[in-house]
A and B are shown apart, each in its own frame.
Chain A
Amino acid sequence: MSYEPKLVGFLCNWCSYTGADLAGTSRIQYPPNIRIIRVMCSARIDPSFVLQSLGKGADGVLICGCHPGDCHYSEGNYKAMRRYPLLKRLLDAYGIEPERVRLAWVSASVGQRFADVVADMTERLRALGPCRVKTALQTDQIER
């Protein structure tokens, strides 16, 4: 069976999750490799979620939020925007190809955009091959 990359997507409820739903209602097809987890705001996405996903065998992680200025909580997406470069540097330190993780603004009104992002990510991950650090990143399980 050829290599099928596993992609975890963290989508904010008000814009990107609604955009993904709109892609559904408009029947826009995209690769099934993505598995979507809903959070209330992109600011809620803790960098450890990304590391945990990669640790648990994901080959790539997609973080989605509202277009700057559109955030339901007025400034949540700016926080995600600030954490993202730091996270990328951390991945680099771990020797994980930074392209495996991507931040994308998806508005609630355009389903096509979300589909394109997923398709593009899947192709890139297929090129990168599986993520080798599945076990190395086992973070300790502390009670959160």
Chain B
Amino acid sequence: MDDLKIGVYVCNCGTNIAHVIDAESVRAYAATLPGVKIARSYRYMCSNPGQEMIVEDIRSQGLNRVVVAACSPRMHEKTFRNACRSAGLNPYLCDMANIREQCSWVHSDSVAATEKAMALTRAAVLRVACQEPLAGLTAEMCPTTLVLGGGIAGLTAALELAEGGFPVVIVERADKLGGNLTRVDLTAPHFDSARDLVRERIAHVRSNPNITVMLHSELRRLSGFVGNFTGEITTNGGKPTHVKLGNVVVATGYKEFDAGRVTHFGYGKLPNVITSFDFERMLRAGRIETRDGRLPQYAAIIHCVGSRSEEFHGYCSRVCCMTALKYANELKSAIPTCYVSDLYIDMHAFGKGCEDFYKRSSEVKTMFLMYGKGDHPVIRRAGSGDDCDMLIEVEERLSGEHIEIPADLVILLVGMEARKDATDVARLVNISQDKSGWFIESHPKLDPVATTTDGVYIVGTCASPKDIPDTVAQARAAAARILAKIAKGKIEIDGVFAEVREEQCSGCRMCNELCPYSAIEFDADKRRSHVIPAACKACGACVAACPSAAIKGRHFTDTQIFAQIEGVLL
């Protein structure tokens, strides 16, 4: 190690440290430690004058290490690193001893506290001696974004990025854009036209030069890391094209629940039991009729088909309640004489304007019937004497009566479920799925659109059931993250990440599986593993687990920690 010139600065923090710890004796003790060139004590190290003192000492005394014994590094580590950087010293050659939150504020016995402060300062001095200058890495940030899925979520995210001036590639499995929204006529709660919304988005996408649309296409492979992905895309199963990408937005949407799986509804056996998407087709065609062409005098709508149930899906599919109210109004508009009944468990009218929509729906005389979660309403063919095709038998909870409901047409509000191919997509872009198959976000509140893999975002219903406004908001949220990264031009990778010393690596590949961010790749020909700096989050799990201690945790190496252990126990 070059000749050490360590500067130690003991902060009084006004009286917060000084009222328990004798700062002067800590300073005097620090001056005696090996390698310490200068030791000062000052009232407020974090204030501007305090930092000026450090910069001045580095320049005049040629200090090559700095230790600040003050508050918690979580408060001012960044401040003192910036001070060192502005003085020309590599910021990773600075270390802090926490003698306020973890010493003066929590111990009243000043002798013990001062002795502990000395120990913590000694540990920092020994640690900083082993610290090496680290340079952050920068990687190029390819501005192109891959959008998987051409539904409303994918279109919105693509438009947001393209109108910001950056190239986007949309890969859509089907042969046209629009996704599930093209199967819907009007939207709840204001009966706005879903068709106009999709047509406007598609028109904008088509007319935007920055967007390349690849229909009938699939992503075969994705390699590299954030800012430097390479995507292999095949169209019509043909020769794959390779595209350089910076980020990936997964907007693969949802599949509706197969109503046939619920035996007691008799979907598939009873002709006039249809799903919500069948009904949307009838609305578009202007023909709401039973299978044999008659206008239904009685219609029934059943909520939570496949949702909120132990047998199928435990979650609530969030959009069906408002869809049911929409259908009740649409039925009454198309067939004014039709009597509509609505079987629900809880009426989830939580959205903006939805409670008012629920209240207005009572003006169309819908008969709302509440059944218990877990109950099985049974649909059976009516007898010849009845004036309707089918009868729905259920235990109605608000009246406590066991009733049967006449129905010529029954609309099943099928819930949302993860697409069958979601598992392939998850493996491709290296994200994980929850027990129901929805993709998992890195944190529902901190980071609702990011995933554990940097540069891969999940938006819309592929993450969990949601309505159009929430889908559009999430699509734009992902775009915001990507715009922010592209605006910075390059990816700054913090200097702190793991590094494999190839000469010691035995190629056992234990670390490859271990890393939650799959940031360690195996180099087949060299038979060695190596860490991808950008993907590594520096948690150090691999460093501790490596059987041949071949992985070095930069800025948290074993040597540095051993030095600290020695420092605190001397």
Task: Report A's interface with B, CB cutoff 8 A.
Answer: 6, 8, 13, 17-18, 20-21, 23-25, 27-32, 35-41, 43-46, 48-49, 52-53, 56-58, 72-76, 79, 83, 115, 142-144
Min CB gap A83→B, angstroms: 8
Inter-chain CA distance A32–B107, complex, in Å, is 6
- Told that A27-B105, A38-B98, A46-B543 touch, could you supply 7 new A-B pairs with CB distance under 8 A? A6-B569, A30-B107, A35-B569, A38-B73, A44-B544, A46-B544, A115-B106
A-B contact list, 10 entries, CB within 8 Å: A21-B101, A29-B107, A32-B103, A35-B123, A37-B565, A40-B556, A44-B543, A46-B558, A56-B566, A79-B544
B116 CB–A CB distance under 8 Å = yes
Q: Is the CB of B105 within 8 A of A48?
A: no
Q: Is the CB of B516 within 8 A of A23?
A: no
B131 CB–A CB distance under 8 Å = no
**Chain B residue nearest to A134 in the complex (CB):** B569
Residues 527-570 of B at the A interface (beta carbon under 8 Å): 537-541, 543-545, 549, 552-553, 556-559, 561-562, 564-566, 568-569
Residues 14-37 of B at the A interface (beta carbon under 8 Å): none
List of B residues within 8 angstroms of A41 by Cβ: 539-541
User: Known interface pairs A8-B569, A53-B565. Does A40 touch B105 (Cβ–Cβ under 8 Å)?
Assistant: no
Q: Is the CB of A39 within 8 A of B540?
A: yes
User: Known interface pairs A24-B100, A25-B101, A48-B558. Does A73 touch B516 (Cβ–Cβ under 8 Å)?
Assistant: yes
Inter-chain CA distance A44–B546, complex, in Å, is 11
How many cross-chain pairs have Cβ atoms below 8 Å apart between A and B?
125
Task: Report B's interface with A, CB cutoff 8 A.
Answer: 72-74, 98, 100-103, 105-109, 112-113, 115-116, 119-120, 123, 442, 452, 496, 514, 516-517, 537-541, 543-545, 549, 552-553, 556-559, 561-562, 564-566, 568-569
Q: Is the CB of A44 within 8 A of B540?
A: yes
Q: Is the CB of B119 within 8 A of A44?
A: no
Q: Is the CB of B116 within 8 A of A144?
A: no
User: Known interface pairs A36-B102, A74-B516. Does A43 touch B539 (Cβ–Cβ under 8 Å)?
Assistant: yes
Inter-chain CA distance A58–B569, complex, in Å, is 7
Inter-chain CA distance A75–B452, complex, in Å, is 11
List of B residues within 8 angstroms of A75 by Cβ: 516
Inter-chain CA distance A115–B107, complex, in Å, is 11
Q: Is the CB of A37 within 8 A of B556?
A: no
User: Known interface pairs A56-B565, A74-B452. Does A23 touch B106 (Cβ–Cβ under 8 Å)?
Assistant: yes
Q: Is the CB of A73 within 8 A of B109?
A: no
Q: Is the CB of A37 within 8 A of B73?
A: no
Residue of B442, B452, B538, B549 near A40 (CB, 8 A) is: B538
Inter-chain CA distance A72–B562, complex, in Å, is 25
Min CB gap A112→B, angstroms: 12
**Chain B residue nearest to A13 in the complex (CB):** B74
User: Known interface pairs A43-B540, A44-B543, A48-B558. Does A37 touch B549 (Cβ–Cβ under 8 Å)?
Assistant: no
Q: Is the CB of A73 within 8 A of B569?
A: no
List of A residues within 8 angstroms of B569 by Cβ: 6, 8, 35, 53, 56-58
**Chain B residue nearest to A56 in the complex (CB):** B569
Residue of B106, B516, B541 near A28 (CB, 8 A) is: B106
Q: Is the CB of A73 within 8 A of B568?
A: no
Residue of A27, A44, A49, A142 near B541 (CB, 8 A) is: A44
**Chain A residue nearest to B98 in the complex (CB):** A36
Min CB gap A144→B, angstroms: 3
List of B residues within 8 angstroms of A27 by Cβ: 105-106
Inter-chain CA distance A89–B74, complex, in Å, is 35
Q: Is the CB of A79 within 8 A of B541?
A: yes
List of B residues within 8 angstroms of A58 by Cβ: 565, 569
Q: Is the CB of B557 within 8 A of A144?
A: yes
